[in-house]
Amino acid sequence: MDAYDVQDAIDRWTIRYPPGAARRTARPPIAHAQGPIIHDTAGARYLDFGSNPTGAILGHNHPRYIEAVRRRLHTVGDDTFLDQDALLLHCRLGEILTPPLQKSLLVPHGDAALRVAAGMARAVTGGADIIAVSATHDGAVCFTRPATAASHPGNLPVTGVSEAHGTAGVCPDPAQCACGAQGGLQPCPWAAFEATVAACERRPAALLMKSFAGGAFGAGAGWAPVLRRLCHQYGMLLIVDETATGYGRTGRMWGHQHDDVVPDILIASARFGAGQSIDVVCTAPDIAEQVRACDNGVLDLAWHDPVACIAAVTTIDIVREEELVSRAAAIGEYLKTRLGTMAADKPMIAAVHGRGAMYAIELSAGWAAGNHVHQLGQEVVQACRDKGLLLREPAGDDSDRIVRVAPPMVSTETQLDEGLDILDRVLRDIAAAPRASAASRPGAREPGQHQLS
């Protein structure tokens, strides 16, 4: 399709994005891609540092991956036969999971994994509610209690509104809590946990721990082991969602390994490229047996795509054989140094966070008076794209001032330098543009004031 055909198809046959998102439909189609590099049909070349989640692990069109998927397409799939590739995926997962995690259930990509994990927790504990917890970049914790209707196994496990935050209450025992180790600089996760449990109308079955944008789960505050201990004291299970952090992206095979916790249930989700994606729910043998004996229907959600299975198997094999976990750790050290240097002389950067091949720049909310921080994030991403670097669009919520830098784990140092040089130039250009004076910027930092997690 030439440019005229593309625009004609958009105008005649697609539902257009809102005016503020018109740039998405203006992009030319992809012509070809390899690793972190994408070429479009207009001849432009880009480095993909996170705009397309399917390239987060292997980049685009890894030769071994493409060949494995092509071979699988020639094999007939039928539910009346055992699927060898599905069994291989169970084996591979068993080899890379953190003990005692061993058993796995394959489910389609989407919300099925959360439904299964919640159903497992309810079957084992007899509880109902599922509490979600996530970290902010400064180490504070935020809990979410689900609405009453969400407690039914057929609904999503977490759909409610924020009920309790890390500022709730006084720490029961600072000597045993992460907030005590921080010298009172961080809100107390223990007190916030107890306040959230007390707000639940029915006994909670599990705590769902989510990663934060720049890395894994604890944000450096050490609260993950505290919450793990509290879960078991309250008869709850710990569910860890590794959708964003699994398969080596943080510099370890699983993000929870940074925070010295082992979940009771692990959700691993990945989009491996070429449209292939699959989710898996993993747990220990004793929990798996209790769920099987309970027969509450949660296991009926199991289903898999055979092609996605071989895609996942091949991806895990490549990650292990090409030592991409250690490669991601090395990328993390490089990003930490380069992004830290950028932050040292740019007051618009409030902090830098991350692990492995997952880093995030937090823009200062008060850097430019009258300039909405979300607009600033969009400006950075758009300017980088115009210069050939693709970054993930900032979200329209509390994380809208986060610019994510997440190169594929196969990226070379030359490619990292190219992408980071573009980002550095863009930040310098934006800083040099006429804006409010530094004296009028609330909370403006002196050069060199930056934070690395």
Could you write out the three-class secondary structure of 34-89?
Answer: EECEEEECCCCEEEECCCCHHHCCCCECCHHHHHHHHHHCCCCCCCCCCCHHHHHH
Confidence of residue 270 (pLDDT cuts 50, 70, 90): confident
Confidence of residue 168 (pLDDT cuts 50, 70, 90): low
Distance between CA atoms of residues 421 and 123, nearest Å: 52
Which among 27, 34, 30, 48 is positioned nearest to 388, based on CA atoms? 48
pLDDT attached to residue 405: 94
Query: Which tokens belong to 207?
Result: 């705590």
Homologous superfamily of domain range 26-56+324-432:
Aspartate Aminotransferase, domain 1 (3.90.1150.10)
Kindly list the distances between the CA atom of residue 131 and the CA atoms of 261, 403, 419, in Å, as whole numbers in the listed order.
Answer: 18, 28, 39
Alpha helix stretches (DSSP H) within 168-323:
178-181, 189-199, 223-233, 285-294, 306-321
* pLDDT tens readout for residues 417-438: 999 999 999 999 998 887 644 4
pLDDT attached to residue 439: 41
Which among 163, 229, 238 is positioned nearest to 198, based on CA atoms? 163
* pLDDT tens readout for residues 15-27: 876 665 545 546 7
* pLDDT tens readout for residues 57-108: 999 999 999 999 999 888 876 666 778 999 999 999 999 999 999 999 999 8
pLDDT attached to residue 378: 87
pLDDT attached to residue 94: 96
Place of tokens 């709850």: 236
Which among 390, 377, 333 is positioned nearest to 356, based on CA atoms? 333
Q: Across residues 244-260, what is the average pLDDT?
A: 91
Judge whether 450 and 99 are in contact, CB under 8 Å.
Answer: no
Query: What does the DSSP 8-state code read for residue 169?
Result: S
Residue bearing the bigger pLDDT, 27 or 343: 343
Place of tokens 């823009």: 363
pLDDT attached to residue 44: 94
pLDDT attached to residue 163: 41
Each domain of the chain, given as residue ranges in start order, spans: 26-56+324-432, 64-321
CATH of domain 64-321: 3.40.640.10
Query: Which tokens belong to 231?
Result: 């879960």
Residue 238 sits at φ, ψ, to 5 deg, of -105, 120
How high does pLDDT run on average in the chain? 82
* pLDDT tens readout for residues 32-41: 999 999 999 8
Q: Flag the least confident range among 101-115, 253-267, 328-342, 391-405.
A: 391-405
pLDDT attached to residue 449: 39
Residue bearing the bigger pLDDT, 184 or 178: 178
pLDDT attached to residue 90: 95
Confidence of residue 397 (pLDDT cuts 50, 70, 90): low
* pLDDT tens readout for residues 299-336: 888 888 888 999 999 999 999 999 999 999 999 999 99
pLDDT attached to residue 382: 92
Task: Give me the percent of the chain exceeding a pLDDT of 70.
Answer: 78
Q: Across residues 388-409, what is the average pLDDT?
A: 83
